[in-house]
Structure 1
Amino acid sequence: MALIELNQVSKTFLVKKQSLQAVKEVSLTVEKGDIYGIVGYSGAGKSTLVRLLNGLEIATSGSVVVDGENVESLKAKELRDFRKNIGMIFQHFNLLWSRTVAENIQLPLELAGVKKAQRQQKAAELIELVGLQGREDAYPSQLSGGQKQRVGIARALANDPKLLLCDEATSALDPQTTDEVLELLLAINQKLNLTIVLITHEMNVIRKIANKVAVMEQGRVVEEGTVAEVFRHPQQAVTKRFVQQDLNPEEDLREVLSEFIEANPQGTFMTLSFAEDNANEPIISQAIRQFDVDINVVSGKVQTTKDAAFGALTVMITGKPAAIEETTKFFIAQKVGVEVIKRG
């Protein structure tokens, strides 16, 4: 069942008497229980899109429907009540530094007029949920970045929301802490069946916990689907760039390829794409044993998404043309994607 439905949504801002279209004719659906990733580079329109979901911005055209509510038609009080069903966590935590962990978590309940005893009980439950037992009376200045974000998550859950929006929620964290926070979000999704929308420019965040993804560029959604499908078969140039960066985060593949090609002008270079069915199979070793070829790995790795494994290896193959052709046919027969970069 759909929790979010966007139909041909656009948002235009007036900047110095000029129109700036931040979101352009976006249509997408988020089902209840999804962890839905929205990824794009700076200026792609993803943060504006998330503000349309909680009514902080109103669409210029199109419709934004969240949990059956048409957001642009809500009046002031209706909008305030609507937002109680949406939790929000941010890159820089947005905690009150004069309040303890427990007091920060209780803040939304205090603003909603919930009695003190109920606020304290709810805060205690959430502190246990996010793994902050023993830190109830600590102040934000006494917490690590990961602990601060756990407070932010707990506070966002205080009103028992139906939807959790995460706007670059892990961007300020180191890789290990990022993984811990993502694991917590996944656990919350599974335990509470809470729908989560992740806004990020980091494809590895999407890969680790999301089940669906939309890729944005210049205000438009240019590609969407399940995470496994998009990672295995990226169609748009921007998506291919995101996937390649995730597979090879520490090297510039073009530079490495150029060096290999210059040193081995007779080699055939190709990128092999592996999916769930063959990502863990010793296909390259099998090819070397069956055919009179040598295969050197230039770059790549196998990764896992929430639901599947995938990966890509760029390789150099040397041998007689007939043997290389047979090797290529073998890869294809094993359901490995083959993209020839340069023939020897």
Structure 2
Amino acid sequence: MLLMETEGKEVKMALIELTHVKKEFSGKNGAIKAVNDVNLTVEKGDIYGIVGYSGAGKSTLVRLLNGLELPTSGTVVVKGQDITKLKNRELRNFRKKIGMIFQHFNLLWSRTVIDNIKLPLELAGVSKAEQKTRAAELLELVGLEGRGDAYPSQLSGGQKQRVGIARALANNPEILLCDEATSALDPQTTEEVLDLLLDINKKLNLTIVLITHEMNVIRKICNKVAVMELGSVVEEGDVLDVFRHPQQTVTKRFVQQELAPEDDTDEMIQSFMKENPGGKIVTLSFKENNANEPVISQAIRQYAIDINVVYGKVQQAKGSTLGSLTVLLTGDPEEIDKAVAFFNSKEVGVEVITHE
């Protein structure tokens, strides 16, 4: 058990702990720091998202969690065990309890669906009868009943990823690593696969570490998130807190891309500012305790300003509402500043995008 009692309350303990982890590779121009002094804690039952742009170090980090890569320095502790100290056989046995799914499925095309799922069990020396029973259970779990005799070439992308998930669960892992698992899927199929992962997390109390460059994936199912840039974790915390109060520039960029409409927002903002050079554009971020409060109309009544809506979006994240509204404030500069202070007093997040 990874739980302890503290004054009658159940407290989660860490399942995965990374302490000052670095991973360097040799390059033509010297050492490349793929992972740079990362400290990270994942608790049992978490769906922990690691987000970053290409080259941020996400894939290297996730490979450190199952020993496919060993750190240059620092410690990687899983279930109280420092995996950097495991020998070959110990490491192989350790990996059996960590499942992994990939962006491009990595299925064996000459094998049927059922045989792909059985593969880890075959390698583990499980009897054929047990393989058959377990594979049938997993087919049902991932919603592929009746497709066991099909080949990967006969499946859609979403179905292939379901096979990949079933195969990753074959040995009853305690941790599931997902390396860009939805990047090759269309939006609708992505939603379905994320719903499946969320369902598996709840049914099996399975800890999931999910790396992605898509913030909508984080918003959809994760409860914790770490943002990576140039090999370092620059921001981390509860998903709702990070969405509502992003601190780092890269995090703000991710959140703005997620909450902004599909249009070219930069061009839209520049157009508004060109027509209103004395105005100020701000993004207002709302949460549940103020999402329904009419702060816009209150500000217009109290201060000599006009407010034009530039764009806005409302989304759900882990059962809570996230809202963002970007507006243009025009009027006397002092009145604009008073309105901004008013928004802050109402616990509405305020970020000034451009101003004159």
TM range (shorter): over 0.9
Alignment of 1:118-197 (within 5 A): 118-197=130-209
Matched, 1:104 2:116: yes
Q: What code does the residue aligned with 2:327 have?
A: V
Residue pair 2:261, 2:311 contacting (<8 A) in 1 also: no
Structure 1 residues 8 and 272: CA distance shift in structure 2, 3 A: same
Instruction: Describe the superposition over 1:277-301 as per-residue Cα deviations: whole angstroms up to 9, x where unpaired.
Output: 2234443244445655432211231
- Alpha-carbon separation, structure 1, partners of 2:33 and 2:306: 52
- Alpha-carbon separation, structure 2, partners of 1:322 and 1:12: 52
What residue in structure 2 maps to residue 23 of structure 1? 35
Structure 1 residues 124 and 317: CA distance shift in structure 2, 3 A: same
What residue in structure 1 maps to residue 87 of structure 2? 75
Residue pair 1:318, 1:324 contacting (<8 A) in 2 also: yes
Q: What code does the residue aligned with 1:122 have?
A: R
Residue pair 2:19, 2:74 contacting (<8 A) in 1 also: yes
Q: Secondary structure at 2:182's aligned position in 1?
A: coil
Structure 1 residues 97 and 289: CA distance shift in structure 2, 3 A: same
- Alpha-carbon separation, structure 2, partners of 1:214 and 1:304: 19
What residue in structure 2 maps to residue 310 of structure 1? 322
Q: What code does the residue aligned with 2:85 have?
A: S
Residue pair 1:8, 1:61 contacting (<8 A) in 2 also: yes
- Alpha-carbon separation, structure 2, partners of 1:343 and 1:245: 21
Residue pair 1:22, 1:45 contacting (<8 A) in 2 also: yes
Instruction: Describe the superposition over 1:218-266 as per-residue Cα deviations: whole angstroms up to 9, x where unpaired.
Output: 1111111111111111111111111111112523332211111112234
2:14 alignment partner, one of 2, 9, 17: 2
Instruction: Describe the superposition over 1:47-91 as per-residue Cα deviations: whole angstroms up to 9, x where unpaired.
Output: 011111000011110000112221111111101100000000000
What TM-score comes out, normalization by structure 1 length?
A: 0.94
- Alpha-carbon separation, structure 2, partners of 1:20 and 1:117: 48
Matched, 1:275 2:287: yes
1:66 alignment partner, one of 78, 94, 110: 78
- Alpha-carbon separation, structure 2, partners of 1:342 and 1:64: 43
Instruction: Describe the superposition over 1:1-54 as per-residue Cα deviations: whole angstroms up to 9, x where unpaired.
Output: 111000000011123483222111111100000000111111111101111100
Q: Secondary structure at 1:256's aligned position in 2?
A: helix
RMSD: 1.8
1:231 alignment partner, one of 231, 243, 247: 243
Structure 1 residues 17 and 237: CA distance shift in structure 2, 3 A: closer
Matched, 1:44 2:35: no
Structure 1 residues 170 and 249: CA distance shift in structure 2, 3 A: farther
What TM-score comes out, normalization by structure 2 length?
A: 0.91
- Alpha-carbon separation, structure 2, partners of 1:342 and 1:194: 44
What residue in structure 1 maps to residue 107 of structure 2? 95
Unaligned runs of 5+ in 2: 1-12
TM-fit CA distance, 1:318 = 3.3
Matched, 1:222 2:224: no
Deviates more, 1:85-94 or 1:294-303: 294-303
**Length, aligned pairs only:** 344
Instruction: Describe the superposition over 1:194-235 as per-residue Cα deviations: whole angstroms up to 9, x where unpaired.
Output: 000001111111111100011111111111111111111111
Residue pair 1:39, 1:203 contacting (<8 A) in 2 also: yes
